[in-house]
Structure 1
Amino acid sequence: MKTLIIIGIIVFIGISVWYAKRNDVSALYKSETSEISSEKDNPVDFGYKNVCIAVKTDNKKRISEVLQLKNVQPSNWKNGIETAYNDGIFITPQIGQWTLAVGMKLVNDANLENINKLENILNILSSEFGEAQSFGTHRVVEYHHWIKSVNGKTTRVYSYIGESGENFKAYGELTEPETDLNLFNSLSKEAELDEYWEREDLDYADEELVMKIAENWSVNPTKLTERTDIKNELGIIGK
């Protein structure tokens, strides 16, 4: 009999704890998290050591769908950028005519396969919204890329990794400020000659060039705090 009473007490305590967590503790945690992430704040500059997509639209929901994001929720700039530099994606408030999606997870590894996947995503987005772009930098392996897609077709892509001194892909007409440079291209016919690799007049991609191109094409994410055309709204985060 005592054993049954003890078991009953344990079960009752267990149910009570579960119920309390469900209705009070969990609710409190969700409330605090929501309050932190949904409190509007000022834009945060970013850009280096990350990857972003720029889409000519204010439709964050559709961008998240194309990126197949899960666990989507509202987020302010601070939490959003922190997420982007960790394990998630942040879709920003509208910046002029553009909305950015940022996060290293957009390109898990620097290789041709992932560049092609990213290019396909841009083509899907630009087929719906007219134009989509991507910019990426990573100092450790000296990885850099810029890609532009218009009306569902890639018009320019340049991807380079300094660690191995090679391009994964280089396609399309040069754009400003590329036209003023003699960009290294390991995929070019010139690069088939040994002399090409000894030339001293070649220019190599770096993170500053990536930001200059981003500024020329759409949005320079390192200068967001200087802008006055950023919508006072929340972005969204997801994984």
Structure 2
Amino acid sequence: MVFGIAVDRAVPFGRQCWWLAVTSPDAATAADVLGLIRRKRVTWGHGVELAYGGAVFVTPPIGPWVLVPGRGLPDAASPGFLEWVVGLSARLGHVQFFETHRFTGTSAWVLAVGGRLRRAYHFDGAGVPLFEGEVTVDEVALGVGTRPESDDDETWWDTVPGEGDVLALARRWSVDPTTIEGVATDGDGITGRLRR
């Protein structure tokens, strides 16, 4: 522990949520790139609670990853969503987005690196309105998100992900946020709102 920096313990999230995993040296840098307003420093517990209530929470780093949960983030159906994620990756390097909601059946993920979209998938509970980039080896290994919607081929339903699949893909790409309980991190996170 560095003098003056408190240690906090991670609180899990990820179910019925959307979040980013970004490469950033610290929460403040990620919050700056996101353009968060009305910022305040908070503990993990308070930050996750606020994230589920409509705010955005920028966590302290877990390894190379800063996680950003929040119902205040745009979801995969939002106008300009892909451009927003790609723009973040131009400034942060590596950006992943995940979304899951078991009741609506919504599942989504995006991978952007260095200002370029690598992969985007969104199942909205009825169809696949977003299917861009090359299917990744991790999607193939999990058997999810590998086929676009097809009117004449019902086998694509076999590749439709559920909440557990989104979390499994997050684990393969970066961090499954449902498994981080108790991980020690330095300092508080930052909560705020995106400028609209």
Of 147, 160, 176, which aligns to 2:110? 147
For 1:200 and 1:91, how far apart are their aligned partners in 2? 35
Could you tell me the TM-score, scaled by structure 1's length?
A: 0.71
User: Are 2:26 and 1:65 equivalent residues in the alignment?
Assistant: no
In the TM superposition, what is the alpha-carbon distance from 1:103 to its structure 2 partner? Answer: 0.5
Of 219, 229, 236, which aligns to 2:175? 219
Report the counterpart of residue 25 of structure 1 in structure 2: none
In the TM superposition, what is the alpha-carbon distance from 1:176 to its structure 2 partner? Answer: 3.6
User: Are 2:42 and 1:91 equivalent residues in the alignment?
Assistant: no
Distance 1:237 1:200, change over 3 A: closer
SS for the counterpart of 2:57 is strand
Distance 1:117 1:62, change over 3 A: farther
For 2:156 and 2:130, how far apart are their aligned partners in 1? 22
Report the counterpart of residue 16 of structure 1 in structure 2: none
Distance 1:149 1:73, change over 3 A: same
- Within a 5 Å distance, the mapping from 1:87-236 to structure 2 comes to 87-107=54-74, 111=77, 114=78, 117-162=80-125, 165-180=126-141, 181=143, 183-186=146-149, 191-193=150-152, 196-197=153-154, 199=155, 202-225=158-181, 227=183, 230-236=184-190
Distance 1:75 1:40, change over 3 A: farther
Of 49, 53, 58, which aligns to 1:82? 49
For 2:29 and 2:20, how far apart are their aligned partners in 1? 13
For 2:103 and 2:29, how far apart are their aligned partners in 1? 33
Could you tell me the TM-score, scaled by structure 2's length?
A: 0.85
- Residue type at the aligned position of 1:120: E
Query: Following superposition, which runs of at least 4 residues in structure 1 exceed 6 angstroms of deviation?
Result: none
8 Å CA contact 1:54, 1:132 repeated in 2: yes
Higher helix share: 1
Instruction: Give the number of the structure whose alpha-carbon radius of gyration is greater.
Output: 1
- Residue type at the aligned position of 1:234: D
Report the identity percentage. 28
8 Å CA contact 2:148, 2:156 repeated in 1: no
Higher strand share: 2
SS for the counterpart of 1:225 is coil
Deviations 1:31-50 (A, max 9, x none): xxxxxxxx853210111111
* Structure 2, gaps ≥5 residues long: 1-5
8 Å CA contact 1:41, 1:78 repeated in 2: no
In the TM superposition, what is the alpha-carbon distance from 1:201 to its structure 2 partner? Answer: 7.3
In the TM superposition, what is the alpha-carbon distance from 1:192 to its structure 2 partner? Answer: 3.8
* Structure 1, gaps ≥5 residues long: 1-38
- Residue type at the aligned position of 2:103: V
